[in-house]
């Protein structure tokens, strides 16, 4: 039987035989100039939405479905074409010679039935209901089926749910699925809310390496370092039998020197677990020394966290723009983290030059000496800030002026200098305050004037003397080594340790002109880089690092 669909012919008034089956249609006459015009019609996204809606209705009524997806024993009738159009996972399954391409029932393991239901709702409607109960399983399902938009929506939902009680768990989930942006947001959230985060159960389940990563961060936001110590002890005591051996490793990241002295004595030294941990005694001793000496005793644990409002800054005192030029009265501080310079009170004795600058309990001391205008001096005096008195001690082995001087491992090192205007010394003179005696150590690898030295992590770093290099001295082995080359030959530089790095500021080159360059050397990575310039070229200046409170943290 053949069914022919066509228009009904009107034989009225035909007056004769029917017309030929070839129906003549009248063609509208068009202007020749409009023959090439085209009307491109589009119904927009509504057409695709209507088609998807109809397919979803087909799915609900099992109309035209050609495959059943089975998850946890629950069956989901679907259309292979729709699944393949939405997911490369299903396209590979149904379009290749896989067994599933021929079977009516396909079982998928490793996902939840409810997550599959929500996933199919998204495939057939473009919409999904994401909540705290299904987000993890829906993320894993969309990842399995390569639906990036739904997976990213789940990650965005998790980001919006961050709370002190769940941020650590979400970060672990993000790390496991290589969600770098979500993991970074979780870490920032935990850093910014650390005191609250440390009160929840997830904190107690952190691995040692995860906890150390937080403790060691300068960005850890705490009003007082006491919060950090209490968090560590809470974590250790939660499983004290197994966590007691790592107590020292964790306390190395707690800035014990910055604890209030009363809290340190009563709470830290009074803790029974710490009292029975001899391996921690050195950390306690470091904190005690800092409470007495202040910034004269520096370590990674004496550096304040940014959230306290205090930060380490480098203070540049005096100097001049060129040899024989006018001495400058300026005192300015530089924050290496922000790159900002700030002017401080001018130096009252700026007409003098070649003085020494040091910090004592965050106070800056400026001394003038080494040369009395006629000869070099070998005398040494010790200043006691408690009694505000100077006391003479044993003189140096060799009288020099303009040496590089720094303290390291409880001793004072006088490096190089000039015995007179025509010669330089390469001697290293070491003073032991315990015995009031001097010893000569291994000589500097070069004999140059106008060198600078600084101490970091029980090592001494020396630069300047137009050497285009940084050398390192290890007092424990009495050994010198070349560590890195600088970009230019400089002498009479300022040098200071700030935030665990060595900064070389200004100085003068071979042409005698002062420089405004700043170099940063990171001993941990061995990398030297150029950073922000100084406000002006300068040489023969003093440099020292102190802790300074930022006005931005001051409450209104």
User: pLDDT tens across 146-201, in order?
Assistant: 999 999 999 999 999 999 999 999 999 999 998 999 999 999 999 999 999 999 99
Examine the pLDDT at 9 and tell me if it is beyond 50. no
- Residue 374 CB coordination number (10 Å): 6
pLDDT digits 0-9 by tens, 216-241: 998 999 989 999 999 999 999 999 99
- Residue 8 CA: distances (Å) to CA of 23, 24, 26, 28: 11, 14, 17, 22
pLDDT digits 0-9 by tens, 43-99: 677 777 888 888 888 888 889 888 999 999 999 999 999 999 999 999 988 887 777
* The pLDDT of residue 24: 56
Q: How many residues are present in the chain?
A: 556
Q: How confident is the model at residue 1 (pLDDT cuts 50, 70, 90)?
A: very low
For the domain made up of 309-553, give the CATH fold. Neuraminidase (2.120.10)
CA distance 151 to 519: 45
Examine the pLDDT at 442 and tell me if it is beyond 80. yes
Rounded average pLDDT over 7-13: 47
CA distance 477 to 458: 11
Give the whole-number percent of the chain exceeding pLDDT 70: 89
CA 198, chain centre distance (Å): 20
Examine the pLDDT at 297 and tell me if it is beyond 80. no
Q: What's 36's DSSP letter?
A: T
* The pLDDT of residue 298: 73
CB 225 within 8 A of CB 259: yes
* The pLDDT of residue 361: 72
CB 306 within 8 A of CB 495: no
Q: How confident is the model at residue 425 (pLDDT cuts 50, 70, 90)?
A: very high
The two three-digit tokens of residue 222, written as one number: 């705490």
Nearest by Cα to 490 from 530, 535, 459: 530
* The pLDDT of residue 60: 84
List the beta bridge partners of residue 459.
456
* The pLDDT of residue 326: 78
pLDDT digits 0-9 by tens, 491-550: 999 999 998 899 999 999 988 889 999 999 999 999 999 998 999 999 989 899 988 887
pLDDT digits 0-9 by tens, 385-406: 778 888 999 999 999 888 999 9
Judge residue 159's burial from the number of C-beta atoms within 10 Å of its C-beta, 0-12 exposed, 13-18 middle, 19 or more buried.
Answer: middle
Judge residue 365's burial from the number of C-beta atoms within 10 Å of its C-beta, 0-12 exposed, 13-18 middle, 19 or more buried.
Answer: middle
206-306 CATH, one of 3.40.50.880, 3.30.930.10, 1.25.40.420, 1.20.120.1730: 1.25.40.420
* The pLDDT of residue 188: 95
Examine the pLDDT at 556 and tell me if it is beyond 50. no
Phi-psi region of 359 (alpha: psi -120 to 50; beta: other; left: phi over 0): beta
The two three-digit tokens of residue 449, written as one number: 């004037």
Q: What mean pLDDT value characterizes the chain?
A: 87
- Residue 177 CB coordination number (10 Å): 17
Judge residue 204's burial from the number of C-beta atoms within 10 Å of its C-beta, 0-12 exposed, 13-18 middle, 19 or more buried.
Answer: middle
* The pLDDT of residue 31: 66
Examine the pLDDT at 257 and tell me if it is beyond 60. yes
* The pLDDT of residue 100: 67
CB 170 within 8 A of CB 182: yes
CB 102 within 8 A of CB 96: no
Q: How confident is the model at residue 37 (pLDDT cuts 50, 70, 90)?
A: confident
* The pLDDT of residue 550: 76
* The pLDDT of residue 373: 62
CA distance 157 to 161: 6
Nearest by Cα to 411 from 393, 399, 385: 393
Comparison of pLDDT for 95 and 478, the residue scoring more: 478
**CATH number for region 46-161:** 3.30.710.10
CB 476 within 8 A of CB 516: no
pLDDT digits 0-9 by tens, 344-356: 998 887 776 667 7
> Taking the domains of the chain in order of start, what are their residue ranges?
46-161, 206-306, 309-553
> In this predicted structure, which of 108-122, 139-153, 181-195, 281-295 has the lowest mean pLDDT?
281-295
């Amino acid at each position: 039987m053949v069914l022919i669909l066509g228009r009904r012919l009107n034989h009225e008034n035909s007056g004769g035989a029917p017309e030929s089956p070839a129906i003549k249609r009248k063609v509208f006459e068009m202007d020749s100039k409009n023959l090439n015009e085209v009307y491109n019609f589009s119904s927009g996204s509504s057409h695709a939405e209507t088609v998807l809606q109809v397919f979803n209705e087909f799915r609900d009524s099992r109309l035209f479905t050609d495959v059943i997806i089975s998850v946890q024993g629950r069956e989901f009738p679907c259309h292979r074409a729709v699944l393949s159009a939405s997911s490369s996972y299903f396209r590979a399954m149904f379009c290749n010679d896989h067994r599933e391409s021929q079977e009516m029932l396909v079982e998928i393991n490793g996902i939840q039935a409810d997550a599959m239901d929500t996933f199919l709702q998204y495939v057939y409607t473009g919409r999904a209901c994401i909540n705290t109960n299904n987000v993890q399983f829906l993320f894993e399902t969309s990842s399995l089926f390569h639906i990036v938009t739904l997976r990213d929506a789940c990650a965005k939902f998790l980001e919006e749910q961050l709370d002190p009680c769940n941020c650590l768990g979400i970060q672990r989930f993000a790390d496991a699925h290589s969600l770098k942006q979500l993991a970074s947001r979780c870490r920032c959230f935990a850093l910014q809310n650390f005191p609250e985060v440390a009160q929840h159960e997830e904190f107690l389940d952190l691995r040692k390496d995860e906890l150390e990563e937080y403790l060691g961060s300068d960005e850890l936001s705490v009003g007082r370092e006491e919060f950090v110590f209490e968090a560590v002890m809470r974590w250790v005591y939660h499983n004290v039998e197994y966590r007691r051996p790592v107590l020292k490793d964790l306390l190395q990241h707690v800035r014990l020197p910055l604890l209030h002295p009363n809290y340190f004595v009563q709470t830290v030294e009074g803790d029974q677990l710490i009292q029975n941990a001899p391996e921690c005694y050195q950390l306690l001793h470091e904190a005690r020394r800092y409470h007495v000496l202040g910034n004269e005793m520096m370590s990674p644990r004496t550096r304040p966290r940014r959230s306290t409002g205090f930060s380490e800054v480098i203070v540049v005192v005096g100097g001049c723009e060129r040899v024989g030029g006018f001495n400058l009265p300026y005192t300015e501080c530089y924050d290496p983290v922000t790159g900002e310079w700030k002017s401080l009170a001018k130096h009252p004795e700026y007409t003098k030059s070649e003085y020494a600058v040091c910090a004592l309990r965050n106070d800056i001391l400026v001394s003038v000496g080494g040369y009395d205008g006629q000869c070099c001096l070998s005398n040494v005096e010790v200043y006691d800030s408690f009694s505000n008195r100077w006391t003479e001690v044993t003189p140096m082995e060799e009288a020099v002026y303009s040496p590089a001087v720094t303290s390291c491992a409880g001793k004072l090192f006088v490096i190089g200098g000039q015995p007179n205007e025509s010669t330089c010394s390469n001697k290293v003179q070491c003073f032991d305050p315990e015995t009031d005696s001097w010893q000569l150590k291994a000589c500097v690898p070069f004999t140059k004037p106008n060198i600078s030295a600084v101490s970091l992590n029980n090592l001494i770093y020396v630069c300047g003397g137009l050497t285009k290099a940084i050398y390192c001295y290890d007092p424990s082995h009495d050994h010198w080594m070349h560590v890195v080359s600088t970009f230019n030959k400089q002498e009479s530089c300022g040098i200071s340790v700030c935030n665990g790095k060595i900064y070389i500021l200004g100085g003068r080159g071979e042409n005698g002109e002062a420089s405004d360059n700043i170099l940063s050397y990171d001993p941990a990575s061995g990398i030297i880089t150029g950073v922000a310039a100084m406000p002006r070229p300068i040489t023969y200046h003093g440099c020292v690092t102190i802790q300074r409170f930022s006005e931005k943290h001051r409450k209104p």
